[in-house]
Amino acid sequence: MKTSFETRFERTLFASRWLMAPMYFGLAVALAMLTVLFVRELVHYVPQVLTMSAEDIILVCLTLIDLSLAANLLLIVMFSGYENFVSKMNIDQNHDDRSEWMGTVDFSAMKMKLIASIVAISAIHLLKRFMEIGIGATPVMADPVLFWLVVIHLTFVVSGVLMAAMDWLSARSGKH
């Protein structure tokens, strides 16, 4: 038999999940910031398109893709985090704009989507750095920043593979 103190305590703990709501709102503000940055980059480079080299245009495209992937990452965290840890979104299941994955992404799937997005962002950033090779006057192979970017990217890739392996093993064992 639970005491009234224990019941009130458990209800308070359960209600404390709403303390996460301002954090998800903050992520929505960060998404707006990324949108402003995306538009600013686009407005900056569009007038220059006729004088840009192919490499410069590719670098601009990679920058825009990078911002887009970061925005996708924010959406994944906002929607699935809110639905998993705070409250289900009361949006009509048949609404035209409702994505199929909404309400179905559990913590394990969210973790895999996050690491995949981080690896993609890291890969694009690394590709941008590789494309900048030869533009500057410094020797590329002596660039410690490039070395560490490769190390960090490989760390993300290995982490993703290990997380996927752990999820696979956990699913096979059937014990959680």
> pLDDT tens, 51-105?
998 888 988 999 999 899 899 889 888 888 888 888 887 776 666 766 666 666 6
pLDDT, mean of residues 153-171 = 89
What is the number of structural domains in the chain? 1
* Average pLDDT taken over every residue of the chain: 84
pLDDT, mean of residues 25-46 = 96
pLDDT at 172 over 70: yes
Helix, strand, or coil (residue 171) = helix
Predicted TM-score (pTM) of this structure: 0.71
pLDDT, mean of residues 17-29 = 94
Please give the pLDDT value at position 88: 80
Q: Which long-range contacts (CB under 8 A, 24 or more apart) does 104-113 make?
A: 105/76, 105/79, 105/80, 108/167, 108/170, 109/80, 110/76, 110/77, 110/80, 110/81, 110/84, 111/163, 111/167, 112/160, 112/163, 112/164, 112/167, 113/76, 113/80
Distance CA 161, CA 115 (A): 9
Please give the pLDDT value at position 148: 86
- Residue-number span of the structural domain to which 148 is assigned: 4-173
The residue among 108 and 153 whose pLDDT is bigger is 153
